[in-house]
Amino acid sequence: MNDILTKQLARMNLYALISRLLMKELDETALKQLDEDEMMLSFFPNYRQWEKRSELSRKDLLARFLNVDFTNLFVLHLIPYETFYTRDDQMLETGGDNPVRKVYERFDFRVSLEKARAVSPDHIGIELEFMYMLCASEYKALKEGDKSSACTLARVERDFLRDHLLRWAPMFLQNVKAECATPLYYDTASLTLEFMLSDYEYLHTLIDEEGCDYDA
């Protein structure tokens, strides 16, 4: 069981990390945490070797490069919303018909668009935060020995990846890699894409017709 919990905790932490990075700009506290955590830095090899990290203070790095890049990518030039990619007219669905809203409501996942600085609940950062919430609930169920509830949550995670994130996020993330001006957001896009694909494969293998093989 310890191996299962360790795996689940790693999944949960990765979803927390990528959802935060794709939701809004970093501040000095968050950047300091990233810079000083060698395990976390290992996920960002290009950023880790970026010469400007040693040339500039974190305040200048954020003001002159990182937050400028975030704004260009997520606010000005690219559109980080599912419905832009999945609707034929490429219009955002900001109302009650948004395809993820009912899924969120089913699990009492409340979205503060103002806090997230998003115009619609299908923002990539919010969808990844939802995955984090599901993983956290699955972790809690596993810790309490409730494998049935954990398996139900794993199925929701797999289906949400299949029906939502993996339908559009790969294209968006490839656009981020092509358009970004800093290695941090290049690495973030690469990490997010690779992790979502591997996590879907993990969930697909975990779940069978009879349940979830957590002991495999």
pLDDT of residue 84: 87
- 89 pLDDT exceeds 80? no
pLDDT of residue 113: 65
Q: What's the total number of domains in the chain?
A: 1
For range 60-65, the mean pLDDT = 96
pLDDT of residue 86: 84
What does the CA dihedral 151, 152, 154, 156 come to, rounded to 10 degrees?
Answer: 170
81: confidence class by pLDDT, cuts 50, 70, 90: very high
pLDDT top residue among 113 and 181:
181
pLDDT of residue 102: 86
- Listing DSSP states for 4-67 in one string gives HHHHHHHHHHHHHHHHHHHHS---HHHHHHHHH-HHHHTT-HHHHT-THHHHS-HHHHIIIIIH
Which of 1, 18, 5 lies closest to 198 in space, CA to CA?
Answer: 18
- 216 pLDDT exceeds 90? no
Dist. CA 197–CA 188, nearest whole Å: 14
Here the CATH number for the domain that contains residue 113 is 1.10.3480
For range 120-132, the mean pLDDT = 94
Measured in degrees and rounded to the nearest 5, phi and psi for residue 106 equal -60, -30
pLDDT digits (tens, 9 = 90+) for 164-212: 999 999 999 999 999 999 999 999 999 999 999 999 999 999 998 677 8
- 67 pLDDT exceeds 80? yes
- Per-chain mean pLDDT for the chain: 91
pLDDT of residue 172: 96
Measured in degrees and rounded to the nearest 5, phi and psi for residue 119 equal -100, -10
Show the domain range for 16: 2-212
